[in-house]
Amino acid sequence: MRAAESANVLIEARALTYSRQDEVVFGPIDFAIHAGDIALIEGDNGSGKTTLMRILTGMLHTDEGELIFEGAPYTRDTTAGAIVFLGHHLGLKLDLSARENLHVAEGLYGRRDGADPLGVLTSVGLAGYEDEPVQRLSAGQKKRAALARLLLVPARVWLLDEPYANLDRDGIALVNRLLGEHAARGGAALVTSHGAVSFAGDEPRRIRLHA
C-alpha cells in the first residue's frame, strides 16, 4: 500500500518553513499529496494558510525546507500547466462576461478533454448568465464563474484559497461535488478554510498550521 502510494506522490513538502522579516510564519511542516487526495489546510487567522498557498503556486519563494513536485524540484518548469490557483482575488475581468473570461483561461491554460466553456458554466449553475458582464453578477455567482475555470482547464492540482467564502449552502455543496469528482478523476486539491467544513464523501487529509 505505501509503496503504491509513494509511486504517485504529486506534491511533497519536507520541513517546509516560511519566515517573514526573520519571524517564522509557519512550519516546519511535512505532507505528501497523492493523486486523488483532497487536503484541507487548517489554521487560525494569521497562521499562514494563504502564504502556504502562494508558495505552492510557485510565486512565493522560501529558502527553508524542501518542496518536490512528482519527484522533481518545485520549479516553474516542472509545475507548468499542472497547477491551477483560485485565490481571494478571483482572476475574473469584471468588464468581460463569464464566457469571455473562460475563453482567456482556455487560451492561457488549454482545455480539459471533453470540457467546453458553455458546458462548464452550466455545471456550476450559471446557465443563462454566460454573456452577462461579470460585474453584474452577485458575489456568489462570481465565485461560481471562477470555479468554472477549474473545470475547463486541464490542471491536475487545484489550489483553492477559501473556496467556500461567499457561497450559500448550494454553492458549498457544489464545491464539495466538484472536489469529489476531481479526486475521482485522479486529480488532487489543496483547500484552505478557517471555518468548519462539512466535506461530503471521504474524510479529507488535514494539514494543520499552528499560529
Partner 1 sequence: MANWVPLWLHKLGSPPIFYRFAGVVRPWALALAILAALAALYGGLVLAPADYQQGDAYRIIFIHVPSAWMSLFIYGAMAVAAFVGLVWRIKIAEVVAMESAPIGAAFTFITLVTGSLWGKPMWGTWWTWDARLTSELVLLFLYLGVIGLYHSFEDRRQGARAASFLALIGIVNVPIVHFSVNWWNTLHQGSTVRILGPSHIEMSMLWPLLTMMLATKLYYIASLFARVRADLIATESGKDWVRAIALAENGDRP
Partner 2 sequence: MTPGSTSAACAALFRRDLTLAWRRRGDIAMPVLYAVIVTTLFPFALGPEAALLARISGGVVLVTVLLAILLALDSLFRSDIDDGSLEQLMLAPQPLALLLGVKILAHWLTAAAPLIVVAPVLASMLRMPANVIPALIAALVLATPLLSLLGAVLVALTAGTRRSGMLLALMLLPLCVPVVIFAAGAVAAAQEGLPWVAPIAWLGAALALALVLAPMACAAALRIAMDA
Strand ranges, E, within 50-156: 64-69, 72-73, 83-86
Nearer to partner 2, 92 or 167 (CB): 92
CA–CA distance, 49 with 26 (Å, rounded to integer): 9
Cell, residue 30: 511535512
In angstroms, give the least distance from the CB of 75 to partner 1.
Answer: 15
Q: Which residues of 3-33 are buried (b: 16+ CB within 10 A; e: fewer)?
A: eeeeeebbbbbeebbbeeeeeebbbebebbb
C-alpha cell at position 83: 497547477
Asked whether position 65 contacts partner 2 by CB under 8 A, the answer is no
Which one of the spans 3-11, 59-67, 167-175, 187-195 is the region binding partner 2 (CB under 8 A)?
Answer: 59-67
125 binds partner 2 (CB under 8 A): no
Tell which one of 2, 22, 23, 88 touches partner 2 (CB under 8 A): 88
2 binding partner (options partner 1, partner 2, none; Cβ < 5 to 8 Å by kind): none
Task: Pick the piece of the chain touching partner 2 (CB under 8 A) from 22-30, 96-104, 123-131, 183-191.
Answer: 96-104
Interface stretch with partner 2, choices 32-40, 53-61, 182-190, 200-208 (CB under 8 A): 53-61
Q: Report the run of H or E that residue 117 belongs to, with start and end.
A: helix 117-123
Confirm if 34 and 5 have CB atoms less than 8 A apart: yes
Q: Which does 81 bind (CB under 5 to 8 A by kind): partner 2, partner 1, none?
A: partner 2
Within 8 A by CB and 6+ apart from 180, the residues are 38, 200, 201
**In the complex, minimum distance from the CB of residue 49 to partner 1, in angstroms, rounded to a whole number:** 18
User: Mutual orientation of helices 139-152 and 169-184 as an angle, nearest 10°?
Assistant: 10
Least distance from C-beta 90 to partner 2, angstroms? 6
- Indicate whether 139 belongs to the interface with partner 2 (CB under 8 A): no
Name the amino acid, one letter, at 93.
K
By the criterion CB under 8 A, which residues form the site for partner 1? 20-23, 63
- The contact set with partner 2 (CB under 8 A) reads 57-61, 80-81, 83-85, 87-96, 100, 103-111, 154
